[in-house]
Amino acid sequence: MVLTIHHMGISQSERIIWLCEELGIEYKLIKHVRDPVLAPTSLKINGNDTGKAPFIEDPESGITLAESGAIVEYILARNATGELGGYLGEKKLAKKYGEKGYVDYIYWFHYANAGLQPAMMGSMFLDLVSLDNDDRTKTWADQRLHATLKHVDDRLAEAKWLAGDDFTAADIMVVYSLTTQRYFGPKVSYKGYANIVRFLGDVKERPAYGRAMEKGDPEMRLLLGEEPPVKTLVEAGGVGSDVWKK
Ligand SMILES: N[C@@H](CCC(=O)N[C@@H](CS)C(=O)NCC(=O)O)C(=O)O
């Protein structure tokens, strides 16, 4: 009995499809379409109290779960062979306590949704209201956003992947916030963040990433380069527009 992934197009649930593709585990994909920006009523499923994406159902254990970080940890633990730690055969996407890279792994795994994503969303919301460029709140949010991006960029200057030499689930957590999130804002360019751009180039080379994006969002133009979209989906009125399409 395979895991069911509820994926909403152009959303954080791309992380879960990507994780399963990297691990090579089978899953059933149920797609939901934004209405036209927020989550549709089809995501108001028993167990999904917030009605957001991602959401998974595991028929084997009867467990349902929301929150991408929790889901990633659940899938890694569920598929761990031997000791807990996200092993699947030779594939290993988590670091264990005591292992080289462990502290960086947990730090960047959590930084994705606790540091980077809030900074992106704070700037996204401020971009949506008409504030003067020298508005204090906007200035502070911009400073916070760029300090956050610099923090990620500095890490990627010293390591190929966020946990070190090995690609891990921490990279999966961070990539949505740097890429697809920009369809909603902020319209931030990565000019000056050469290490982030290099990292996104390495992500593009991963076959599992390509497969995940093709399965989850086959129409979406991937935002792996320096420049953000000219117009966000919010400005364009939602997914009915074609600003996000290839
Ligand atoms: N922290 C949650 C965030 C979930 C979330 O906000 N998902 C967005 C998609 S990126 C959503 O469902 N938005 C629709 C809405 O808020 O109505 C996670 O990591 O899963």
Lowest mean pLDDT among 32-41, 128-137, 156-165: 128-137
Ligand 1: which residue has its CA nearest to atom 11? 52
Q: Which residues of 112-131 are buried (b: 16+ CB within 10 A; e: fewer)?
A: bbebbbebbbbbbebbeeee
Residue 83 CA to ligand 1 centre (angstroms)? 31
Candidates 1.10.645.10, 3.40.47.10, 2.40.50.140, 3.40.30.10; correct CATH number of 3-92? 3.40.30.10
Per-residue pLDDT tens digits for 100-128: 999 999 999 999 999 999 999 999 999 88
- The atom of ligand 1 lying closest to the CA of 43 is 12
**How far lies 139's CA from each of 123, 142, 143, 178, in Å?**
10, 5, 6, 20
Q: Is residue 177 within 6 Å of ligand 1 at its C-beta? A: no
**How far lies 101's CA from each of 161, 166, 167, 170, 200, in Å?**
10, 9, 11, 11, 20
Residue 66 CA to ligand 1 centre (angstroms)? 9
Highest-confidence range of 84-88, 104-108, 135-139, by mean pLDDT?
Answer: 104-108
Ligand 1: which residue has its CA nearest to atom 9? 11
Q: Is residue 73 within 6 Å of ligand 1 at its C-beta? A: no
Amino acid letter, residue 147:
A
**Distance in angstroms (rounded) separating the CA atoms of residues 240 and 236:** 8
pLDDT at 89: 53
Residue 211 CA to ligand 1 centre (angstroms)? 22
Q: Is residue 15 within 6 Å of ligand 1 at its C-beta? A: no
- Average the pLDDT over 1-30 and give the result: 96
Q: Is residue 38 within 6 Å of ligand 1 at its C-beta? A: yes
- Do residues 12 and 43 touch, judged by C-beta distance below 8 A? no
pLDDT at 171: 98
Q: Is residue 35 within 6 Å of ligand 1 at its C-beta? A: no
Binned at pLDDT 50, 70 and 90, residue 84 comes out as: very low
Residue 182 CA to ligand 1 centre (angstroms)? 14
Ligand 1: which residue has its CA nearest to atom 6? 52
Domain ranges in the chain are 3-92, 102-216
Return the half-sphere exposure (C-beta side, CA atoms, 13 A cut-off) of residue 77.
7
Looking up tokens 């996407």, which residue turns up?
A: 93
- The atom of ligand 1 lying closest to the CA of 176 is 10
Per-residue pLDDT tens digits for 186-235: 999 999 999 999 999 999 999 999 999 999 999 999 999 999 999 999 99
For residue 45, with 0-12 CB atoms within 10 Å meaning exposed, 13-18 middle and 19 or more buried, which class applies?
middle
Fold topology of 102-216: Glutathione S-transferase Yfyf (Class Pi); Chain A, domain 2 (1.20.1050)
- The atom of ligand 1 lying closest to the CA of 71 is 20
Q: Is residue 226 within 6 Å of ligand 1 at its C-beta? A: no
pLDDT at 87: 55
- The atom of ligand 1 lying closest to the CA of 67 is 20
